[in-house]
Amino acid sequence: MSDSLAQLKRQVCAAVDEQSESLINLSRRIHAHPELRFEEHQASAWLAEFLEQSGYAVERGACDLPTAFVARIGNGAPRVALLCEYDALPGIGHGCGHNIIATAGAGAGAALAQVIRRSGGSVVVLGTPAEEGGGGKILMAKCGAFAGIDAAMMVHPAGVDLPAMNVLAIATLAVEYHGKAAHASAFPHRGVNALDALITAYNAIAQLRQHIRETERVHGIITDGGQAPNIVPERAAGVFYVRAATEARLEKLKGRVLGCFRAGAEATGARLEYHWQGEQYSDMHTNMPLASAYATNAEQLGRRLLDLRDVPASVTGSTDMGNVSKLVPSIHPMIAASPASIPLHSTDFADCAASETGDRAVLDGAKALAMTALDVLCREDLLAEVRAAFKP
């Protein structure tokens, strides 16, 4: 590393420390006001305002999404994108710690604003709504938000530090069965039980799980099971996730899952309606040279990153960052914000996301992202390796 690059890295880390109180307050504020997908009006506005105060030109409501934004600073290439997520989960708030993701990304952007004239190139901070099922990044990609980007990065909180994440492709299936109502005691023979159809399909899926791969998942909920116990349910509905290691494997599994739902209709006489809902998320193509640069920077902060090979293949998730990774070189590292025993998407993890450990993840995440962005902006050798390793 050249002396000048090392100096720039020290400067961005110092900038994060100087703004630590503001960053922690921003993270805690987002955490205290959880907003669901596409409804993140407060979080989006707070982040946009913070970046404007840091010198960015901010476009609010970008890509025809009211809670998306695009913030830009600098000129020309290389061009690095920092991604912010800020939607919460129903019922448990920031149980995925998106307040940390958002603030780490914005904090890295603010730190880079102080050195962008010396580093050259440009930085784009993207406010990407609705990661939890809405596919905000995919929608933004469709309108060209990632055009001209040389590298995209974000950091996600977890129970351990990792240079990358095991990511599964995912599709969302909404199903409805339509039967015929009847008095459940006096005239059950005149009814067609839509709930029985859905339960039959649910049990068929449970049997299917014995014969799918370790990296495949099917899980869901019943959203409508009828209106009263003494009425044969004429409608039943549910939402299910189907996941697999690759999009090709996902397509095969989707067909098998639909077979389970068709079996429910065949067994009961109820009529099945279904549709694949929203955007389909891809598996992740982690750019390894970029991930290695992030790991080196995170380790300089005292973080000890596990080797991804030591993480069981069954420990997985899904993200629309996977779709981004097939458009531009991308990374999605994990930063410890809780004890390893606490799972994501839990109330316990939500508590950790607004704890001292969560605050430290905000600051270290901002520093590691800023230093990795500087590697891309200042190191022609790394940029060449990143481009060579990119597999659309």
| Mean pLDDT, contiguous 10-residue spans, the chain (392 residues) | 87 98 98 98 98 98 98 97 98 98 98 97 98 97 98 97 96 98 96 98 97 96 97 98 97 98 98 97 97 98 89 82 98 97 96 98 98 98 98 83
Same fold, 3-167+284-389 and 169-281: no
The pair of three-digit structure tokens given for residue 133, joined into one six-digit string: 């099922």
56: left (phi over 0), alpha (psi -120 to 50) or beta: beta
> Which pLDDT score, from 0 to 100, does residue 313 have?
66
Domain 169-281 belongs in CATH node 3.30.70.360: yes
> Which pLDDT score, from 0 to 100, does residue 102 have?
98
> Which pLDDT score, from 0 to 100, does residue 3 have?
66
Q: Find the length of the chain.
A: 392
The beta-strand segments (E) located in 179-265 are: 217-224, 235-244
Contact 244, 168 (CB under 8 A): yes
104: left (phi over 0), alpha (psi -120 to 50) or beta: alpha
The beta-strand segments (E) located in 245-337 are: 271-281, 330-331, 334-336
Domain 3-167+284-389 belongs in CATH node 3.40.630.10: yes
pTM: 0.94
Does the N-terminal peptide bond of residue 78 adopt cis geometry, omega within 30 degrees of 0?
yes
The beta-strand segments (E) located in the chain are: 57-60, 69-74, 79-84, 122-127, 151-153, 156-158, 169-178, 217-224, 235-244, 271-281, 330-331, 334-336
Q: Is the dihedral of CA 361, 125, 369, 22 positive or negative?
A: negative
> Which pLDDT score, from 0 to 100, does residue 308 have?
77
Amino acid at 47: L
Contact 264, 192 (CB under 8 A): no
Contact 77, 122 (CB under 8 A): yes
Question: From CA 182, how far away is CA 345, in angstroms rounded?
Answer: 40
> For the chain, what are the domain ranges?
3-167+284-389, 169-281
Question: From CA 164, how far away is CA 92, in angstroms rounded?
Answer: 25
